[in-house]
C-alpha cells in the first residue's frame, strides 16, 4: 500500500492532505525557504503520531514536525520530501496544576492560549516570543524560543519540566516530571532546542509563572541609535535586569505606527521599550534608574504607559514589527544573532554599513537587553540577483556578530538557515558530539533531516575555533 493510503487508513481523508496545492501550502514556514512535501498528516493523539512515525519508517520517508509554521529558519520545511506532521489539532490543555504552577499541554497549544487559560490562576507561560499569539508550545520547545520577557525569565528551556516524545521507532519516551530534580540523565536539555531532529514532542509539562504584582512600561525616544544602544548597556551596567528591554529603529517604528496608530514617535532615530516588574516600590525605583540612565544618554522623551491598555498597545506594536515590514518591500530576510551588550553600539553601526554596501534597506527591531539582534534586510525576490546579495550580506552579518564575540542564533533556531554556518561557532569536537546524540536518537536520520547539523559533522571535516570571548 502507498504511504498515502496507509496514512488515510490511520487518520481518514480529512486529516491527510496530498493534493499539489495542499502540499505547496505546507512547503514553507515564515522564513524564506520552500521545500518539498510528500504528504501532510494531522494527528490528534500520541498514538497516532507514533503510528505515523512507524508508517513513515516502513516507507522509508522522513518525518518533519510542524507547529504553526511561524519559524523563521526553515525548521518546519522538509528539504527532501517527507511526511509533514502538523500538530495544530493536538491543542488540548490537559491539566493546569495551579498549586505546583505547571501545566501538561499538547504540542499544538498556542502560546498565548496557554497564558490566557492560566490567567484565572494568576499565572502565565513566561516565554513570550513576538509570535506568541500564533506559535505553538511544540515549536517553542523545539526552537528553545525566547521573547522580550526572557531577559529576566530565561528562554523556553527554563520553563520545561517534562516532555513526552515519540522516538524514531515509534516508542513513546517521557522525560522529567513535576519532581524538582529528576534522577538519571536529564534529557530535557537535549530535547529542548533540538528542532524536531530527535523526536516529536507530543506533550509538554511546562512551568507557569506568577503574574507580577506591578509593572512599569517606559517608551524612550532617542535622536541616535548609538544613544539608545548605550542606554541599554548602561541600564544593565547599573545592575538592573529589566523584565524586557526592546529597541526599534526609525524605519521599523514608522512601519509599525503606520499600521497601529499608537502615537509612536516616527521622527525618532530609535526607541526603547523598557519594562520592569515586581512590587510597587521596586518597580518605581527601577523605573527611576532607567530614566536616569536614558537622560544621561540624551533621551528626547520618556513616556510612561498610563494604564494596561496603553501598555498592551505598545507591546502590540513591538510584537507586530516583523509583519509590518511587508509595507517596506515584498520580501524580507531576518537575521537572529547575538552580540555582547558591550559591543552593541559598534555592531549596530556596522550592521547599517553592511546594508549600505549591499544596497539593502536595513530595518532593526530586537531584544536589546540580551544583545539579540534582528536586522531585517528588505528586498524584492523577483528582482534578479537580489536574493544572492541578501545571502552575501547575511553571511557578513553573522561573521560580524561572531567576530564581536556573539553567537549564531538568539532564539529562532538553526534550521536550514544557519546550518552551514555552524562551523563558525563550534569546533569539530562540538559538532561530532552533537552528531552522536542525533545518531543515538535517530540512527536512520528520519527526523527533520538536513537540519541544524551541517553535512559531515560526524567526520571532522570542518574546523574553525570558537571565537575568543564568545558570549553564550
Partner 1 sequence: MGYVTAEAPTRVELATCVQCGLCLPHCPTFRLTGLETASPRGRLMAMSAVLEGFAEVDDVFVEIIDFCLGCRACEAVCPGLTPYGRVLEGARAEIATQHPTPSRRLRRWVLGRALATRGFVSAATAVAAVVQRLGATWILPAAVRRSFTGLRPLAGRERWIGRSAEPVADPLGTAALLAGCVMDPWFSSVHEATVGLLRRAGYRVVVPEAQTCCGALAAHDGHASEARRMARRNVAAFAGFDLIVADAAGCSAHLKEYGHWAGDVGGAMAERVRDVTEVVAELIADGRLPRSELPRGPVAVQDPCHLRHAQRVVEAPRTILRAAGYEPVEIDQDAMCCGAAGTYAILRPDTSLELGRRKADQVRAAGSTVVASANPGCEMQLRSLLGPAYRVAHPVELYWEAVVEMAGRVPAEVDR
Q: Does 448 bind ligand FAD (CB under 6 A)?
A: yes
Q: Does 323 bind ligand SF4 (CB under 6 A)?
A: yes
Q: Toward ligand SF4, which CB reaches closer, 66 or 124?
A: 66
Q: Does 145 bind ligand FAD (CB under 6 A)?
A: yes
Find out whether 273 and 314 touch, Cβ atoms under 8 Å. Answer: yes
Per DSSP, the three-state class of 358 is coil
Q: Toward partner 1, which CB reaches closer, 91 or 143?
A: 91
The CB-of-75 to ligand FAD minimum distance in angstroms stands at 2
Sole binder of partner 1 in the list 51, 113, 164, 370 (CB under 8 A): 113
CA neighbours closer than 13 Å in the CB half-sphere of residue 256: 28
Q: Does 271 bind partner 1 (CB under 8 A)?
A: no
Q: Does 46 bind ligand FAD (CB under 6 A)?
A: no
Sole binder of ligand SF4 in the list 1, 262, 326, 433 (CB under 6 A): 326
Per DSSP, the three-state class of 429 is helix
Find out whether 461 and 422 touch, Cβ atoms under 8 Å. Answer: no
Draw the binding track, 278-317, toward ligand SF4 (x: CB under 6 A; -: no contact).
----------------------------------------
Distance CA 48, CA 53 (A): 9
Distance CA 264, CA 261 (A): 7
Q: For the chain, give percent helix, strand, coil, nearest 5.
A: 40, 20, 40
Per DSSP, the three-state class of 184 is coil
Phi and psi, residue 363, nearest 5°: -120, 140
The CB-of-202 to partner 1 minimum distance in angstroms stands at 15
327 binds, among ligand FAD, partner 1, ligand SF4, none (CB under 5 to 8 A by kind): partner 1
Phi and psi, residue 391, nearest 5°: -65, -40
Dihedral angle sign, alpha carbons of residues 275, 278, 284, 285: negative
Strands (E) in 136-282, as ranges, are 160-166, 172-176, 200-207, 209-210, 214-222, 244-249, 270-278
CA angle 142, 144, 146 (to 5 degrees): 135
The CB-of-303 to ligand FAD minimum distance in angstroms stands at 23
The CB-of-10 to ligand FAD minimum distance in angstroms stands at 18
Chain residue whose CB lies nearest ligand SF4: 323
* Number of residues this chain uses to bind ligand SF4 (CB under 6 A): 2
Sole binder of partner 1 in the list 105, 123, 325, 373 (CB under 8 A): 325
Distance CA 331, CA 353 (A): 20
Q: Number of helices and strands (H, E) in the chain?
A: 16, 20
Q: Which of residues 161-220 bind partner 1 (CB under 8 A)?
A: none
Q: Which of residues 38-97 bind partner 1 (CB under 8 A)?
A: 40, 42, 68-70, 86, 88-89, 91
| Residues binding ligand SF4 (CB under 6 A) | 323, 326
| Residues binding ligand FAD (CB under 6 A) | 29-30, 64-72, 75-76, 87, 107, 129-131, 135-136, 138-140, 142-143, 145-147, 195-196, 200-201, 322-323, 411-413, 415, 448
| Residues binding partner 1 (CB under 8 A) | 17, 19-22, 24-26, 28-30, 40, 42, 68-70, 86, 88-89, 91, 108, 110, 112-113, 131, 133-135, 255-256, 258-260, 320-327, 330-332, 382
Amino acid at each position: 500500500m502507498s504511504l498515502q493510503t496507509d496514512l488515510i487508513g490511520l487518520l481518514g481523508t480529512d486529516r491527510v492532505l496530498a493534493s499539489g496545492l495542499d502540499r505547496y501550502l505546507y512547503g514553507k514556514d515564515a522564513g524564506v525557504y520552500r521545500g518539498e512535501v510528500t504528504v501532510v498528516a494531522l494527528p490528534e493523539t500520541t498514538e497516532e503520531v507514533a503510528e505515523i512515525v512507524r508508517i513513515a519508517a516502513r516507507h522509508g520517508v522522513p518525518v518533519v514536525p510542524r507547529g504553526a509554521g511561524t519559524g523563521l529558519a526553515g525548521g518546519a520545511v522538509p528539504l527532501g520530501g517527507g511526511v509533514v506532521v502538523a500538530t495544530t489539532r493536538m491543542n488540548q490543555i490537559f491539566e493546569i496544576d495551579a498549586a505546583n504552577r505547571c501545566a501538561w499541554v499538547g504540542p499544538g497549544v498556542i502560546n498565548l492560549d496557554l497564558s490566557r487559560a492560566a490567567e484565572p490562576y494568576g499565572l502565565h507561560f513566561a516565554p513570550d516570543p513576538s509570535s506568541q499569539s500564533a506559535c505553538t508550545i511544540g515549536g517553542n520547545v523545539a526552537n528553545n524560543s525566547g521573547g522580550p520577557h526572557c531577559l529576566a525569565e530565561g528562554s523556553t528551556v527554563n520553563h520545561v519540566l517534562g516532555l513526552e516524545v515519540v522516538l524514531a521507532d515509534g516508542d513513546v519516551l517521557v522525560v522529567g516530571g513535576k519532581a524538582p530534580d529528576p534522577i538519571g540523565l536529564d534529557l530535557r536539555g537535549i530535547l529542548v532546542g533540538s528542532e524536531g531532529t530527535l523526536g516529536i514532542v507530543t506533550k509538554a509539562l511546562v512551568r507557569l509563572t506568577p503574574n507580577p504584582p506591578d509593572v512599569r512600561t517606559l517608551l524612550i525616544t532617542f535622536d541616535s541609535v548609538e544613544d539608545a544602544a548605550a542606554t541599554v548597556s548602561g541600564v544593565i551596567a547599573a545592575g538592573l535586569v529589566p523584565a524586557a528591554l526592546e529597541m526599534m529603529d526609525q524605519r521599523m517604528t514608522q512601519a509599525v505606527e503606520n499600521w497601529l496608530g499608537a502615537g509612536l514617535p516616527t521622527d525618532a532615530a530609535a526607541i526603547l521599550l523598557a519594562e520592569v516588574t515586581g512590587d510597587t516600590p521596586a518597580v518605581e525605583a527601577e523605573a527611576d534608574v532607567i530614566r536616569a540612565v536614558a537622560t544621561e544618554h540624551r533621551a528626547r522623551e520618556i513616556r510612561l504607559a498610563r494604564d494596561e491598555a496603553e501598555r498592551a498597545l505598545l507591546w502590540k506594536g513591538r510584537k507586530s514589527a516583523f509583519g509590518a515590514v511587508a509595507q517596506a518591500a515584498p520580501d524580507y530576510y531576518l537575521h537572529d544573532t547575538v552580540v555582547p551588550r558591550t559591543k552593541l553600539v559598534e555592531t549596530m553601526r556596522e550592521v547599517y554599513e553592511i546594508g549600505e554596501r549591499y544596497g539593502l534597506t536595513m530595518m532593526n527591531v530586537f531584544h536589546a537587553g540580551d544583545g539579540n539582534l534582528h536586522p531585517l534586510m528588505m528586498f524584492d525576490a523577483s528582482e534578479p540577483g537580489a536574493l544572492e546579495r541578501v545571502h552575501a550580506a547575511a553571511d557578513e552579518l553573522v561573521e560580524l556578530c561572531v567576530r564581536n564575540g556573539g553567537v549564531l542564533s538568539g532564539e529562532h533556531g538553526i534550521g536550514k538557515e544557519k546550518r552551514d554556518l555552524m562551523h563558525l561557532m563550534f569546533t569539530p569536537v562540538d559538532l561530532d558530539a552533537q552528531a552522536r546524540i542525533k545518531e543515538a536518537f535517530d540512527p536512520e536520520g528520519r527526523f527533520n533531516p538536513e537540519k541544524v547539523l551541517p553535512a559531515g559533522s560526524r567526520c571532522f571535516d570542518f574546523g574553525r575555533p570558537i571565537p575568543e570571548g564568545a558570549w553564550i
